[in-house]
Structure 1
Amino acid sequence: MLGTFKAVAPYLKFNPKKVAIDNGVFKLHYRWTFAILMVATILVSSRQYIGEHIKCISDTINQHVIESFCFFTTTFTVGKHMNESSLKSGAIPHPGVGPYVQEVDEVKHHAYYQWVPFVLFGQALMFYLPHLLWKSWEKKRIYNLVNGLKMIGITRHIGKAMTVGGRDIPSMIETDTRVNDIKESFKNRLSCNEFWGGKLVLCEVLNLANIVLQIYITNKFLGGQFLRLGLWFLREDWQGPMDSLDIVFPKVTKCEFHKFGPSGSIQNHDTLCVMALNVINEKIYVFLWFWFLIVLIASTAAVIWRFFTLFCYRR
């Protein structure tokens, strides 16, 4: 199992000695959120953790055929059977599963489960894009600045240049010259540095815009029910045979398969499907609801603070 997630490990490493070109809120996007979404993508794509994604019961149709058909088309639930009272009384076997009249009863088709890994992977890339943009603009300026100054504390105690452990330590005169060059370069390029800092602010705003966009995309992807998902989870008592998450992520669904009979007439085969994949999907999206909320609050506070500091600087 650990080998499966090995590709995500480099993004979770913490190196306190590494020169930071951004802040902690920025890292929430391109490091932590990116890693979380990649782990989620691996989970929903790996049958070894949840078994077969779908299992269907049919009387005369080949099981492999009916399972492939129902997974690649859509399964559905009946709206009037999303009723916990009917479930407790034994009128229906599962939430959303029961007899219905076509063109009369409301049914809800579920096709999102086919696209979950692709959407999660695409969202992971979108969280990483502002970081790539900032790296292309930053061009290791901060790294070179820090690397050029890190030996100042040592050179104050030595008079000449030397090499220790394969690293060159400049002399005190050379260090003073380097510091003065940096000072003059910084003063002579104030306008350039201001424009460069503006790019960092732009990337922080892009992070905020992106998290708002991802919440909107996820909500549309789940049929407009993502915004309430976390609230439903918090209000749920988990005592009855049906919970609020079954509305969005049904564990058992219906599927209809049509084929020609011996005389050429169309035969309708009603199928019951167990959606093992939704057991993982509901956990992922409930977690993402809380995580996106945290990232949204942190990103909003970071942008407000950034503009507040810019305003105070201008004054």
Structure 2
Amino acid sequence: MSRKNFAYSPYQTRYIMLQAILFYTPRWLWKNWEGGKIHALMMDLDVGICSEIEKKQKKKLLLDYLWDNLKFHNWWAYRYYFCELLALANVIGQMFLMNRFFDGAFLTFGIDVISFVESDQEDRVDPMIYIFPRMTKCTFYKYGVSGEVERLDAVCILPLNVVNEKIYIFLWFWFLILFVLTSGCILYRIIIILSPRMRVYLLRLRFRLIRRDAIDVIVCKSKMGDWFLIYMLGENVDSLIFRDVMHELAARLGHRHHLHIHPSGLGGGKEIQEA
């Protein structure tokens, strides 16, 4: 294995701080764009313990908002999806930045460590020691007895690199896990955007108290952004209250409980509207 010189130590702390800021950026963007909408619409309905009059008033307010702002939530939802896409780009970008930071040795760092563990003891070279040496040659300069600068060579122990190698092997596998999970999340979002039937299925799967025909009507007459808001509200509002609001919203959208449901599962045989 060829010899390499790494000059990362003086910048390591600043680089990790930069990574933390970059990872926090998508969350910061969404918190500002979301503007507390979900919390405001919840109106403490997540607990469900309040008087019937107060509960009825809050349900009406929530229902009126959903009705008045139907089909106006796409931009709100797409900004959330953009933050998820930004998180994926952040993971990929940081892996390549880290690779440049370590002079091309980071992208294969985890694979090299696994290969090192599985290889013969006589032939293997520890990639962690290769990147994070524990001993190195140090050169010191000091004034001698004659007043001239003398050069002294010595062997230095670098105990901190024992910690560094563990940190960066963890980061390598952590980046890999984040990449896989975030890529799966992006694929999931693409399917949701392109497939209204998947939105119906997810609502039915998650909120079993809501009648299927009501879900069909809501998805049919709303857009993808409305679906996203409804799903988020359902995750945060009391299930019984959410069921009542969804049934009333479906009724406003023209749903009748005795309406014949097409065998495909979509109310009245209508095609579900695309986002």
TM-score of the two chains, using structure 2 as the length reference = 0.63
Q: Distance in 2 between matches of 1:301 and 1:115?
A: 33
* Paired residues of 2:6 and 2:103 also in contact (CA < 8 A): no
Aligned partner of 1:109 in structure 2 is 5
Structure 2 match to 1:273: 156
CA contact (8 A) 1:251 1:275 kept: yes
Alignment pair present for 1:199 and 2:95: no
Partner of residue 124 from structure 1, selected from 20, 41, 48:
20
Q: Determine the structure 1 residue equivalent to 2:129.
A: 246
Unaligned runs of 5+ in 1: 1-78, 83-107, 155-168
Q: CA RMSD in A?
A: 2.6
How far apart are residue 308 of structure 1 and its match?
1.3
Task: Give the C-alpha shift of residue 242 in structure 1.
Answer: 4.9
* Residue 108 of structure 2 is aligned to residue 228 of structure 1: yes
Instruction: Render the CA deviation track for 1:91-114: whole Å, top value 9, x for unaligned.
Output: xxxxxxxxxxxxxxxxx3332122
CA drift of 1:292 comes to 0.6
The 10-residue stretch of structure 1 (108-117 or 218-227) with the greater mean CA deviation from structure 2: 108-117
| Aligned counterpart, 2:40 | 144
The residue identity in structure 1 corresponding to 2:173 is F
Q: In 2, are the aligned partners of 1:249 and 1:281 still within 8 Å (CA)?
A: yes
In the superposition, relative to structure 1, how do residues 258 and 150 fare at CA in structure 2: closer, same or farther (>3 Å)? closer
- The answer for the alignment partner of 1:189 in structure 2 is 69
Tell me if structure 1 keeps the 8 A contact 2:22–2:90. yes
| Counterpart Cα distance in 2 of 1:226 and 1:219 | 4
Q: Which residue of 1 aligns with 2:170?
A: 287
Q: Is 2:133–2:161's contact at 8 Å kept on the other side of the alignment?
A: yes
8 Å CA contact 1:230–1:290 kept in 2: the answer is yes
**3-state DSSP class of the match of 1:110?**
coil
Report percent identity of matched pairs.
33
Question: Contact 1:256–1:270 at 8 Å: present in 2 too?
Answer: yes
Code of the residue aligned with 2:160 in structure 1: it is: L
The 1-side partners of 2:108 and 2:145 are apart by 49
Q: Compute the displacement of 1:117 (Å).
A: 1.8
The reply to whether residue 255 of structure 1 matches residue 138 of structure 2 is yes
After superposition, give the CA deviation of every residue in 1:63-96 in whole Å (9 maximum; x if it has no partner).
xxxxxxxxxxxxxxxx76x6xxxxxxxxxxxxxx
Per-residue displacement from partner, 1:244-283 (whole Å, max 9, x unpaired)?
2221111111123356766787643222111111100101
Mapped pair 1:309 → 2:189? no
> Residue in 1 aligned with 2:30?
134
Q: Which runs of 5+ in 2 are unaligned?
A: 197-273
Deviation digits for residues 109-160 of structure 1 (CA, Å, limit 9, x no counterpart): 33212222221122112111211111112122212333443354x5xxxxxx
In the comparison of the two structures, how many residue pairs are matched?
A: 195
Letter in 2 for 1:308: I
Q: Normalising by structure 1, what TM-score?
A: 0.55
Aligned partner letter, 1:309: I
Counterpart Cα distance in 1 of 2:139 and 2:5: 12
Q: d(CA) in 1 for partners of 2:43 and 2:67?
A: 20
1:215 maps to what in 2? 95
Tell me if structure 1 keeps the 8 A contact 2:23–2:90: yes
Q: Secondary structure at the match of 1:272?
A: strand
Q: Which one has a larger percent strand, Structure 1 or Structure 2?
A: 1
Native 8 Å contact 2:116 2:125 kept in 1: no
1:170 aligns with 2:51: yes
